[in-house]
Amino acid sequence: MAEDETGELLGILEVQPHKDKLNDVEQGYTVAITVSPQGEGKGVGKGLMTKAEEWSRQKGYRQLILNVFSNNHRAVNFYKQLNY
């Protein structure tokens, strides 16, 4: 979770372990990421994804994966900016 100094919720991230059944590779999987309207444009999403990447490295995963609908252009552009 991401909160501001007053405790207002700005964003939520859920990551979990995932095993690629085709290649038998353990990975981190970004299940969900949500940023509140109050958190938009403040780096909250980027910060949450950084936390997901740190979590994945701590678990020893070499990959962090996610799914996004191709017509969700805002999310696709966000992930492209982060080199996904």
Q: Stretch 6-22: mean pLDDT, rounded?
A: 94
Q: What is the pLDDT of residues 30-76, one digit of tens each?
A: 999 999 999 999 999 999 999 999 999 999 999 999 999 999 999 99
- Indicate the domain borders of the chain: 2-78
pLDDT at residue 17 greater than cutoff 90: yes
- How far is it, in rounded angstroms, from Cα 20 to Cα 13? 21
Tell how many helices (H) and how many strands (E) occur in the chain: 2, 4
| pLDDT value for 5 | 84
| pLDDT value for 67 | 95
pLDDT at residue 77 greater than cutoff 90: yes
**Where does the pLDDT of residue 7 fall: very low under 50, low under 70, confident under 90, or very high at 90 and above?**
confident
Q: What is the CATH number of domain 2-78?
A: 3.40.630.30
Beta bridge partners of 18: 27
